[in-house]
Amino acid sequence: MWTPSIRTRKRGRRRFGSLVKRMPEKNIDLHGSAPDKHKSALLLIDVINDLDFPKADQLLKYARPMARNLLRLKRRAQKAGVPVIYVNDNFGRWKSDFRRTVEHCARHGRARDVVKLLRPEESDYFVLKPKHSGFFSTTLETLLRYLETQTLILTGIAGNFCVLFTANDAYMRDFNLFVTSDCTVSNTKKENDSALSRS
């Protein structure tokens, strides 16, 4: 077997008189920070949400039962050691942070009860996203590589928008994907079904 890491150096030195520089053996800064390695990860997309947009009433009706289902799924994931990652819009609050967004939505938002049920816990990861896909302009991909995730379980709001955008981006990055129908909501059941059939 050819081990370039050794022979290149050795041969290089012998044959070409070269100085072969070697970078430190990987950057391990983040290894300590992502100890919960597991093949899967559970993503909760935009569940911390004040649903402050037109027609949110419809969505809210579906969101409550979804939150209960999702909490059960989260508990099972935690028991199994599956990392739980909140991937949430920053709602344009570039100067604020996630904890503050959670407090705001838990107190004032129209989806208070959803947010209270799904309030992030100390053991949860979170990633703030500025746009629809959880992969666009975020640390999600780097975090997932450190967690050595191969399979993503996608849940959240809205099935036909942010969940779908994230699913597409995950698909291009070759993750195995599950989208759970009873942990995903869209404005209408029809839109949700259509999105699920697409993703």
Structure tokens at 49: 């949400």
Between CA 133 and CA 131 the distance in angstroms is 6
CB of 187 to a second copy, least distance (A): 13
**Considering beta carbons, is residue 116 or 131 the nearer one to a second copy?**
131
Question: Which window, 9-17, 44-52, 55-63, 104-112, contacts a second copy (CB under 8 A)?
Answer: 9-17
Between CA 25 and CA 7 the distance in angstroms is 16
Size of the site for a second copy (CB under 8 A): 88
Place of tokens 């044959």: 15
**Considering beta carbons, is residue 108 or 171 the nearer one to a second copy?**
171
Please pick, from the candidates 43, 133, 158, 185, the single residue that binds a second copy as defined by CB under 8 A: 133
Applying the rule CB under 8 A, the residues between 162 and 191 that interact with a second copy are: 165, 167-169, 171-172, 174-183
> Residue 152: CB partners within 8 Å, gap ≥ 6?
40, 41, 43, 144, 170, 175, 176, 177, 178
Applying the rule CB under 8 A, the residues between 55 and 114 that interact with a second copy are: 69, 72-73, 76-77, 79-82, 90-95, 97-99
54 binds a second copy (CB under 8 A): no
Element housing 92 (H / E): none
Long-range contact set of residues 135-142: C-beta below 8 Å, sequence gap at least 24: 135/166, 135/169, 135/170, 135/173, 136/165, 136/169, 138/87, 140/85, 140/87, 141/173, 142/30
CB of 161 to a second copy, least distance (A): 10
Please pick, from the candidates 58, 104, 119, 141, the single residue that binds a second copy as defined by CB under 8 A: 141
CB of 126 to a second copy, least distance (A): 7
